[in-house]
Amino acid sequence: MYEELITSGRMNINIDPVLHVWHWQIPLYLFLGGLAAGILFFAALNVINGNENKYSTAVKTAPILVPAAIVLGLIALMLDLKHPVYAWQLYMTIRFDSPMSWGAWTLMAITPLSIIWIAIYIKELMPKIDLEDGFIGKTLKLILKQTNGEVNWDWKYKFLSDFEKYAYKQRKGLAWIVLVLATILGVYTGILLSAFNARPLWNTSILGPLFLVSGLSTGAATIMWMSDNHAEKLLFSKIDVALIIVELFFIIHLFMGFLAGPTVQIDSAQLFFGGEFTVAFWGFLVIIGLIFPLILEVLELRGFHIPIAVPAVLILFGGVLFRFIMVEAGQITRYLY
C-alpha cells in the first residue's frame, strides 16, 4: 500500500490567494509618468547645454505633451483609489521614507513647472491663434490681447507679462530644477513597486534605474518621432540606441539576480522562463519592443531609410507593455511561510 504524508495543502492549485489590487490604471499611470519624466529630462538638459534653438522639438514642442500626460496619469490613479476624496491628505505631511510621498510631492511640483515651461516658449510655437467661441476660446480671450479680432500670445495683464519675462530669463535655473524633478519622477515609478517587500518580483533595487531608463527611452522616442530636424532625429536616435542597450542590460541583470536569489525569487523568475508571461515578455516586449526597434535605429544611423515612426511606436508599445507585465506579474508572486 502506498502512503503519502501531507504536511501542507499548498500543492493544491490556488490554495494560496492571489491578490489583484492594481489593475490597468496603475501601469498606465506609471507609463505616463515615465514618459513625462523622459521628455522633461531631455528638454531641461538641452537648455542647460545651450541647445534650445538647435534642438527645438525637445525643448519647445515635445513638452506640450507633458501636462496632458501627467493629468491623464493622475486621473487613472484617482480611478484606482478606493477613497479618492481623501487623496489631498497626501499633501498634509512629508514622509521621506515613503515612495508614495516622494511621488505625490514631485508631481505637485513638476506639474505647474511643466505648464510654465510651455508658457515660456508658446509665442515661438503659436504666434497667433484663431479660436471660435467656446470654453477654451473665451478663457484665452480673458488673459490674452486681441488685435483686429485675432488673439495673439501677448498677455493682457501686466503681471502675467512680467512673470513670463522673468521665467524666460531664469529658464536655465528652471531647467536645473526640472532636470532633478524629472529624474526623481522617473526613478519613483520603479521604486513605487520595489518598496513592496511582500512581492518578490518587485523587491529589487534594480527597478528604480530600470524604470528611469525605460522612461527616458520613451521620451527620446517621442521627441525623435515629433522632430522635423534631421540632426535632432539622428541625435535622439543615437540616444535611444544607447538607452535600449542599457535597458536590456538591466533586464538581464534583473533576472540574474533573481535566479541567484532565494527560492521565492527563483519562482518569480520562472514566470518569465516557461511561465505565463514568457511569450508576452520575451516575444512582445524584449524582441518587438526593444530589440527590433534597436535594429531599425541602427540601420537608420547606417544610412538605410527607415520610417522613424516605426521604431518610435514600437518603443512606446514596449514601454506600456513592460509596466503592465511588471504590475500584473508582481501581484502573483508572494512569499510562502
Which tens digits make up the pLDDT trace of 42-75? 999 999 998 888 998 999 999 999 999 999 998 8
Which strand ranges, in their side-by-side order, compose the sheet holding 128-129? 128-129, 150-155, 144-147
Q: What are the domain boundaries of the chain?
A: 25-332
Distance CA 150, CA 69 (A): 30
Helix then strand then coil, % of the chain, to nearest 5: 70, 5, 25
E strand spans, the chain = 128-129, 144-147, 150-155
* Spatial separation of the C-alpha atoms in residues 58 and 180, rounded to whole Å: 17
pLDDT tens readout for residues 235-284: 999 999 999 999 999 999 999 988 988 888 888 889 999 888 999 999 99
pTM of the model: 0.87
288 near 329, Cβ under 8 Å? no
pLDDT bucket at 218, cuts 50 / 70 / 90:
very high
Give the pLDDT of residue 16. 57
Res. 18: pLDDT tops 60:
no
Q: Give me the pLDDT at residue 152, please.
A: 73
Contact 158, 179 (CB under 8 A): no
| 125 pLDDT higher than 80 | no
Q: Which residue has the higher pLDDT, 200 or 124?
A: 200
When pLDDT is cut at 50, 70 and 90, the band that residue 200 belongs to is confident
Distance set, CA 59 to CA 37, 118, 207 (Å):
13, 9, 28
Q: Name the CATH superfamily for 25-332.
A: Formate dehydrogenase/DMSO reductase domain (1.20.1630.10)
How far apart are the C-alpha atoms of 234 and 301, rounded to whole Å?
7
CB within 8 Å of 89: residues ≥ 6 apart: none
